[in-house]
Amino acid sequence: MARNLMTALLFVAGLGCASTAQAQAAAGSAQPEHRWSVDVGIGFDSSISGNINSSAIGTLNGTSVVILKNKYEDVYGTGLNFRFGGGYMFKPNTELRVNFTLQSLDADLTRMGDFGASNLYAQYDDYQSFSMDFGLRQYMSLKPSIRAYGEGTIGLGFIGETDVTLTAPAVGLTLDATDFYDRTAAFTFGINAGLLFDLKQNVGAVSNVAVYTQLGLRYVSGLADVDQLVATGLNTINDESQRWAIPFTVGVRFQF
């Protein structure tokens, strides 16, 4: 699924590049009159791979423990994020961009595995992140008031420390696994495709107001290791914490 989506997005980006080349050939050295823009949006990420914890077998408090794999969507589901950013049109259909994304996801109570003869449950902290991405966007005109675009981004995501409370009700065990994941600076990479719909021209200091809808594919590298689980046999629980997600965003763009 991820491979097919990536192929489609790269195809759209390629069309945008071709359109840019044609526009430049027709317009010669013409440059955009209004180069700056800002936008705000809201959306959600749907994870397609990555584990908040991987499976493992080991011991805790001298008791055998089996940990089951939990994906991000098992614990956090699909949550909203808030996005804002800006761009500079250095060519008629080519824009340099910087985007900032805030995300906070509530965690559901999750079955973690088995602690001896008892079920083991986990309550994770909320997933909180702030990311900064730099990108290049290519536009392609479909109609006078509608443009398609493709873009690629690269950046850093800052993910808050994640604690978890482990509970085995049948044996009366409650264990606070503080600093289950350390605060992490993660590498991010994304490709996006979208549509921009122009609404109004020359509103005060704003030369153009438009709304947009965007679909993409985004990668976030793995979280920091769990130091306190070394020598328990559970240190592999961090494996595969990197994640791929499909972000969908709608928003408003103002050009100056």
Per-residue pLDDT, 20: 42
Could you tell me the CATH number of the domain that includes residue 131?
2.40.160.20
CA distance linking residue 96 with residue 116, whole number of Å: 56
Predicted confidence at residue 32, as pLDDT, reads 59
Residue in 177, 187, 171 with CA at minimum distance from that of residue 228: 177
Per-residue pLDDT tens for 139-183? 999 999 999 999 999 999 999 988 889 899 999 989 887 667 888
Q: What is the per-residue pLDDT for 143? A: 94
pTM listed for this prediction:
0.81
Q: Taking a C-beta distance cutoff of 8 angstroms, is the pair 212, 194 a contact?
A: yes
Tokens of 70: 């939990």
Average pLDDT across the chain, whole number = 85
Which tokens in the block code for residue 195?
Answer: 């549509």
**More reliable by pLDDT, 26 or 202:** 202
Domain range enclosing 53: 2-255
What is the structure's pLDDT at 116? 92
- What is the number of domains present in the chain? 1
Question: Per-residue pLDDT tens for 198-242?
Answer: 998 887 778 899 999 999 999 999 988 665 665 567 777 878 899
pLDDT at residue 59, rounded to an integer: 87
- Residue 114 CA to residue 64 CA, distance in Å, equals 8
